[in-house]
Structure 1
Amino acid sequence: MCAHYLGLTDAELERLVDELTMQCQRSRARVGADDEFAGVGVEAYPKSVVPIIVPKFDTAVGVPELEPGSLETARAQWGFEQQWTPQPVFNTRIESADKPMWRAPMEHDRCVIACRWFYESHGSEMAVSARTGRKIKQQYVFRVPDEPVMLIGGVRRGSQFSMVTTQANADMEPIHPRMPLIVRQGELDLWLGPDYRALADRSDIPLESKPVR
């Protein structure tokens, strides 16, 4: 499951929110465009406190159209703290939306994670760690081709958030059976509204990857 991504800085995320909610730019907001897998950002891991995008409305109701002022940034910890586990629960299956733990956040408090790329470990392929010299599962970095910023669905509970995942598509499946629920910029209204489950199928989202050396 995804446990590492390169997010945006606070300033970059605030600029992105402004662009996403400006009607003339909503379909193509490009922040910090890079042609290579490099750039400034915020490394995020479970328990990291990082900026995310949150709506100023109840996602169970949604809004007809995102407008200036309808979204804002907030800092939150990646992972829901639970009494039954010492580690935070940082991924949420979209198929679990009706389970008691996730019902309220999935219905009322969906959010958006903005990142440049995310990392995933291969299920069986091994590599030698450059830091420890030990064998570890090979990590891959993923991004959407030609898109400087990737939007991923999330859920929030107070000052904590979790990344929503769905079944892997053809680009992701050779590495891992699950993938983050990537949301196109033109689909934000849908993700932040009552019919969000229509986005569960991400088979048409292209992903490019390369191994982390």
Structure 2
Amino acid sequence: MCGRYALLATADEVLEFFSIALIEDFPARFNIAPTQPILIVIEGETGAPGSNMPRRKAMLARWGFMPGWVKDPREFPLLVNARSETAIDKASFRAAMRHRRILIPASGFYEWHRPDKGSKQKSQAYWVRPKNGKIVAFAGLMETWASADGSEVDTACILTAPANPSFAPIHDRMPVVIPPEEFARWLDCKTQEPRDVAGLMVSPPEELFEAIPVSDRVNKVANTGPEIQDRVEPGADVAQPKPPKAKAARRESDGGQMDLF
């Protein structure tokens, strides 16, 4: 599960890391939540012969995948994540796996360790970031949903895999991370079929991330400042709003950012 993440890099850093065309500057986002617009990277059209212009493009999409065959999005579950083990065959994601694989720039993600039922322990939030402090690329899928009146909304989700051994004590799943040397293969939906990239949809290396315990301020989507990433002692006695749930995400305040539905 990945229900919140952050993108703290500058536009220039994203441009360089993903080898994309020029993009406008944007502010650091410390608490990106479902239904909000997120930055995604797609494979662009082939440039002119001999051109050095990047083919990849950056664009915005709503975080919450919507298959094209859905008639009323209000009656469909919010698909924030897709399980990598079943995405190739599942009806909701099958077409996107074949035709619309994307990369999602991120500086890290948040996860909650929830104690067993009956335990007196409280849920503990963690800020999970690359140890080298750089950007990572989550594997994602996108779909353009069209309403009956012809309006269109680009939507996206993050692919997840079983947690690696070092992360498993916190949660049993984590985002799939595509290494830079595999960007081209992952985005190539013309010659690389889903079965050809199945080997990329695995748990990140154990040495990639570090998990930092943080306060429950991240639970509230209106909290968007850097203080939500401050380290705390695990189990610190602080106010405990319930950790976010995907079904409730649609109803939460978007902290001043537009809601695409």
Quick check: TM above 0.5?
yes
Aligned-residue sequence identity (percent) comes to 26
Q: Do structure 1's residue 181 and structure 2's residue 176 form an aligned pair?
A: yes
2:90 to 99, 104, 120: 99
Q: Do structure 1's residue 211 and structure 2's residue 213 form an aligned pair?
A: yes
Structure 2 residue matching 1:95: 3-state secondary structure: coil
1:181 Cα deviation (Å)?
Answer: 0.1
1:164 to 153, 159, 163: 159
1:86 Cα deviation (Å)?
Answer: 5.3
Q: Distance in 1 between matches of 2:76 and 2:124?
A: 26
One-letter code aligned to 1:174: P
Q: TM-score, normalised by structure 2?
A: 0.61
1:57 Cα deviation (Å)?
Answer: 5.4
Query: Who is 1:89 aligned against?
Result: 79
Q: Distance in 2 between matches of 1:55 and 1:14?
A: 19
Q: TM-score, normalised by structure 1?
A: 0.73
More strand by share: 1
Larger radius of gyration: 2
Query: Who is 1:192 aligned against?
Result: 187
* Residues matched between the structures, number: 179
Over 3 Å counting, the alpha-carbon distance change for 1:208 and 1:19 in structure 2 is closer
Over 3 Å counting, the alpha-carbon distance change for 1:203 and 1:44 in structure 2 is closer
Q: Distance in 2 between matches of 1:92 and 1:57?
A: 26
Q: How does 1:44-193 map to 2 (within 5 A)?
A: 44-56=32-44, 68-81=53-66, 83=73, 85=75, 87-96=77-86, 97-124=88-115, 137-158=123-144, 159-193=154-188
1:210 Cα deviation (Å)?
Answer: 1.1
Larger displacement relative to structure 2 (169-178 or 198-207): 198-207
Q: Distance in 1 between matches of 2:122 and 2:64?
A: 24
1:13 Cα deviation (Å)?
Answer: 4.2
Query: Who is 2:233 aligned against?
Result: none
The gaps in structure 1 that reach 5 residues or longer are 23-38, 59-66, 127-134
Report if the CA contact (8 A) 2:165-2:206 is conserved. no
Per-residue CA deviation, residues 118-140 of structure 1 (Å, 9 max, x unaligned), is 001113179xxxxxxxx852111
1:192 Cα deviation (Å)?
Answer: 1.8
Q: Distance in 1 between matches of 2:135 and 2:17?
A: 12
Over 3 Å counting, the alpha-carbon distance change for 1:19 and 1:166 in structure 2 is closer
Question: RMSD between aligned alpha carbons?
Answer: 2.7
The gaps in structure 2 that reach 5 residues or longer are 21-26, 47-51, 145-153, 216-261
Report if the CA contact (8 A) 1:6-1:44 is conserved. yes
Per-residue CA deviation, residues 117-162 of structure 1 (Å, 9 max, x unaligned), is 1001113179xxxxxxxx8521111112113211100000010000
Over 3 Å counting, the alpha-carbon distance change for 1:208 and 1:18 in structure 2 is closer
1:209 Cα deviation (Å)?
Answer: 0.5
Q: Do structure 1's residue 7 and structure 2's residue 7 form an aligned pair?
A: yes
